[in-house]
Chains A and B, each alone.
Chain A
Amino acid sequence: MRYLMMSKQSDTTPDETLFVEMGKFIEELTASGVLLATGGLEPSGVRLVSTGGEISVTDGPFAEAKEAVVGFALVEVRSKEEAIELGRRFRKIVGDGESVIQQVFGP
């Protein structure tokens, strides 16, 4: 089963050690065949809203910056617990902040 892990904006500024540790972590997950895709996201983004068939497009950034997703990882795991365990390891490296893990259905 696949899970998408999304991480939200946090206050901690990444330092050298974080980059090294994160690099190691990603390398390990790739090697063990778990990590299918990962990437960082532009925090501001573009918002599309449809109301009554009308679609409005607004450029970011938006007020609730804390809620913006700034990174994702798509993992292929055996169980929800395995996804949580990977999430724990990720959070341990990046420090304070918030991630959300959701199962991916399909394709």
Chain B
Amino acid sequence: MISGWRRPGLPADPGGAVIVAVTDTHRSIDAVWKLESAKIIAGLTRLVRDVGLAEELAQDALVAALEQWPDTGVPDNPGAWLMAIAKRRAIDHIRRAQRLERKQEQLAHELDQQRDEPEQEPERDDVLRLMFISCHPVLPTQERVALTLRLLGGLTAEEIARAFLSTEPRIAQRIAGAKRTLAQERVPFELPDGAELAERLSSVLEVIYLIFNEGYSATSGDDLMRPGLCLEALRIGRLLAELSPHEAEVHGLVALMEIQASRSAARTGPSGEPVQLHEQNRGRWDPLLIRRGFSAMLRARDLGGRPGPYVLQAAIAVCHAQARTAEATDWPQIAALYDALSRLLPTPIVQLNRAVAVGMARGPEAGLALVDALVDDPALRDYHLLPGVRGDLLVRLGRHAEARPEFERAASLARNVAERAFLRRRADAIAEEEPAGVTLGQAAEDFLARPELDAATVRSYGQTMRRLCLRLGERLPLASLTADQVARVFATDWGGAAAKTWNRHRSAVRSFCAFVSLDDLAAGLDRRAETRPPTATIDPAGLAALWDPGLPLRERTLWRLLHESAARVTAVLSLDIEHLDLDDRRARAGETWVSWRAETARLLPQLIAGRARGPLFLADRRPAPARMPAAADLCPETGRRRLSYERAEYLFKQATKALDPTGNGYTLRQLRPREPGRR
């Protein structure tokens, strides 16, 4: 029957037509939803005082629409329809909750009050309140961004995930976490005022600009831009400007985004490569957006007051937009604006941009001096534009030999494919001079290729050498390498690292010096004292909670075994079934014996469950074909791999978070009982 239902080659097939109509309606519903959801969720939040609940109720209304509209057609006023359904559910919900609390009288009273409220509180303020909530400082930035796109943009978790090159579950988790936090912290649905307003507003502006920038200069991935995100940010920004018209910074941000967006067509070349501002075809700048940017800027200026960071950045963008050609750019004015901006916002990135402007206004020498002051800033150590700008200034000074390694370094740091290719080309455009003698990169390669090094050492030394090459440039002549340069890399990259990490990198450098027969390049690096705090054991009450039979069998067995045997975690995880002596309650692990007592003995047969050989503790899943472990770490019967230390540790930490007073969770090592007389 089914095969005859849709005959191929008959486009007018009634079944097919219905399917098309349904998906069309779904797309229209999606469009309506995206236009209306912010208003609906905001209105509901005023009613139920909980953003998470409000969003669920609004989603219920959406589901109702998806069920009914394909049959009945889209109603005349779809927004009002959705709101009416959602409101009815909200009132049902309040009634139910109140009935539970047996406070019906109060409910009637409150509902009456709420029915009066719409006149006092206009709808537009609700949306503004919603913005303040979804950008609330109690939330981590990533959660603010996801929640704002969700609540104000009406985007699904899947759409947000696609825009941020993330996964849907991760975004859904972020949104759920944000809603939970807002409920726990009882964040009120009020507009902040006074000093709080400024602080909260700057959080909203930050989130909007973050969304815009993620779209405008995609930090990773293949495309240079994801225009969808720019559009969302612009829409939310324009909306905010309408809702909060007396804040100069809001108009400043809108002006900044409009003008930046006006260049979007011009900033990528035919094959997707970035085109720098001064090389862009200004005829391709969108005059409509520039005009909108200018009028937003005028509104900000009319409000007066001392210009804030967004107004200053917008003023800089306006300067660029006003120049008919790159040569006509008013660089002295831009440099002056950057001077003011860097006083308000002394971030390394602003300083770097200021260096570019100063380089144009007062010559490359002056710009380079500012860039050089930033070279050791840890915040910029992986920022590709620092060497990029430095290379640019060096080219303008005619110091080509120094510029090339800067562009190479910039290319290796850039995460965006188009940008990396562009920087690589800039490096290649500079004629390569024969490097004098051996370079750092070659020496490092030879150093790591020695046959006497085992794999772990190569990996460890490799990390150190790669970092040195990245920071100092692979093409640096080895002879010119100084202990001072090495010390600076150590200070910026590992200054805050654990003593053990520091010492590991230090010994790698010392070994390298011995290999290339150079004087001690680690001269500027002091060995750091390694102190390990004594491992605290878990108290008896905590232990008792771990033996809960409701926990997974594998975990319970592992923890019991660690506790009873007092053996090393690695030894226990390395156990194979064929080496277990269940009668004698012991097993051989390499050179040592692991022995256990009654509780482990009771659990082991259940865990083994008839398996005859292979690792005792197995991972939950089979390894991906590309990550196949050695045969010894693979169970011949289930095809799963040996449980890793990292995974086992993670699971234990998760399971003990609630028990640990610090909230971090315990480590497996802490399961080992303290031996009397041993510290």
Asked if B488 lies at the interface with its beta carbon under 8 angstroms from chain A, I say no
CB distance from A35 to the nearest CB of B (A): 10
Tell me the bound Cα distance from A62 to B32 in angstroms.
38
Cβ < 8 Å to A, chain B residues 272-294: 284-288, 292
CA distance A75 to B33 in the complex (A): 17
Contact B76 A92 (CB under 8 A): yes
Q: Which residues of B contact A106 (CB under 8 A)?
A: 265
Interface pair B265/A32, CB less than 8 Å apart: no
Contact B239 A85 (CB under 8 A): no
**How distant is B240 from chain A, measured CB to nearest CB, in Å?**
9
Instruction: State whether A36 touches B27 (Cβ < 8 A).
Output: no
Q: Mark B60-83 against chain A: 1 for CB-CB distance below 8 A, else 0.
A: 000000000000001010100000
Whether the pair B242, A82 counts as a contact (CB closer than 8 A) is no
> Does B235 sit within 8 A of A, measured CB to CB?
yes
Complex Cα distance A37/B78, Å?
Answer: 25
Contact A33 B286 (CB under 8 A): no
Q: Which residues of B contact A32 (CB under 8 A)?
A: 35, 235, 238-239, 242
B403-418 vs A, CB cutoff 8 Å, 1 = contact: the mask equals 0000000000000000
In contact, B231 and A107 (Cβ under 8 angstroms)? no
Q: Which residue of A is nearest B27, CB measured?
A: A81
- Flag if B238 contacts A84 (CB, 8 Å): no
The answer on a CB contact under 8 Å between A79 and B31 is yes
Cβ < 8 Å to B, chain A residues 65-100: 74, 76-79, 81-82, 84-86, 88, 92
Interface residues of A in 27-47 (CB under 8 A from B): 30-34, 36-37
Give chain B nearest CB distance to A1 CB in angstroms: 8
Report if A33-B235 is in contact (Cβ < 8 Å); known contacts: A107-B284, A107-B286: yes
> In the assembly, what is the distance between CA of A106 and CA of B288, in Å?
12
CB proximity to A under 8 Å, residues B203-231: 228, 231
Residues of B within 8 A of A92 (CB): 76
Q: What is the CA–CA distance of A76 and B285 in the complex, to the nearest angstrom?
A: 17
Q: From A82, which residue of chain B is reached at the shortest CB distance?
A: B31
- Is B34 interfacial (CB-CB < 8 Å)? yes
Residue of B nearest to A33 (CB): B238
CA distance in complex: A85, B242 (Å)? 22
Closest to B292 in A: A36
A33 touches B32 (CB 8 A): no
Residue of B nearest to A79 (CB): B31
**Are A78 and B228 in contact, CB atoms less than 8 angstroms apart?**
yes
Chain B interface mostly helix, strand, loop or mixed? Answer: helix
Q: Which of A9-42 contact B (CB under 8 A)?
A: 30-34, 36-37
For B285, the closest partner residue in chain A by CB is A107
Report the minimal beta-carbon distance from A37 to chain B, rounded to whole angstroms: 7
Q: Is the CB of A30 within 8 A of B292?
A: no
Q: Are A81 and B235 in contact (CB under 8 A)?
A: no
Among B31, B78, B235, B284: residue with most chain A CB under 10 A? B31
Q: Is B460 an interface residue (CB 8 A)?
A: no
CB-based contact B32/A85 at 8 Å: yes
Q: Would you list which residues of chain B between 67 and 113 have a CB under 8 Å from chain A?
A: 74, 76, 78
> Which B222-252 residues have a C-beta within 8 angstroms of A?
228, 231, 234-239, 242-243
> When the two chains form the complex, which single residue of B30, B74, B242, B287 contacts A30, counting CB atoms closer than 8 Å?
B242
Chain B residue nearest to A36 in the complex (CB): B288
Please tell me if the beta carbons of B239 and A84 are within 8 angstroms of each other in the complex.
no
Instruction: Report Cα–Cα, A32/B34, bound state, in Å.
Output: 11
Known contacts: A32-B235, A36-B288, A78-B228. The answer to whether A84 contacts B242 by CB under 8 A is: no
Residue with the highest number of chain A CB atoms closer than 10 Å, among B124, B231, B243, B265: B231
Q: Give chain B nearest CB distance to A65 CB in angstroms.
A: 30
- Residues of B within 8 Å of A34, CB to CB, are 235
> Does A81 lie within 8 Å of B28, measured CB to CB?
yes
The answer on a CB contact under 8 Å between B239 and A78 is no
CA–CA, A81 and B32, complex, Å: 9
Q: State the CA gap A68–B285 with chains docked (Å).
A: 31
Q: Are B239 and A31 in contact (CB under 8 A)?
A: yes
In the complex, A32→B239 CA distance in Å? 5
Distance between Cα atoms of A106 and B284 in the complex (Å): 9
Interface positions of B from 26 to 68, Cβ below 8 Å from A: 27-28, 30-32, 34-35
Which of A33, A77, A81, A107 contacts B239 (CB under 8 A)?
Answer: A33
Cα separation A86 to B605 with both chains bound (whole Å): 67
Contacts of B235 in A (CB 8 A): 32-34, 76
Q: Please name all residues of chain A whose beta carbon is closer than 8 Å to the beta carbon of B286 when the two chains form the complex.
A: 107
Q: In the complex, what distance in Å separates the CA atom of A40 from the CA atom of B30?
A: 30
Chain B nearest CB from A101 CB (Å) reads: 13
Determine the chain A residues whose CB is within 8 A of the CB of B27 once the complex forms.
79, 81
Shortest C-beta distance, B66 to chain A (Å), equals: 14
Return chain B residues, CB-CB under 8 Å to A76: 231, 234-235
Q: For residue A34, which residue of chain B has the nearest CB?
A: B235
Q: Determine the distance from Cα of A84 to Cα of B76 in the docked complex, in whole angstroms.
A: 14
CA of A106 to CA of B285, assembled, Å: 10
B288 touches A37 (CB 8 A): yes
In the complex, A86→B27 CA distance in Å? 14
Q: Which residues of A contact B243 (CB under 8 A)?
A: 31
CB neighbours of B228 from chain A (8 A): 78
The answer to whether B31 touches A85 (Cβ under 8 A) is yes
A76 to B292, CA, bound (A): 13
What residue of chain B has the Cβ atom nearest to residue A31's Cβ?
B242
In the bound complex, what is the Cα–Cα distance between A79 and B31 (angstroms)?
A: 7
Q: With A36-B292, A78-B31 given, name 11 new contacts (CB 8 A).
A: A32-B239, A33-B237, A77-B31, A78-B228, A79-B27, A81-B28, A84-B28, A85-B35, A92-B76, A107-B284, A107-B287
A-B contact pairs, 8 of them (CB 8 A): A31-B124, A33-B238, A36-B288, A78-B231, A79-B27, A81-B30, A85-B31, A85-B32
Closest 7 CB pairs of A and B: A33-B238, A81-B31, A31-B242, A33-B235, A82-B31, A81-B27, A85-B31
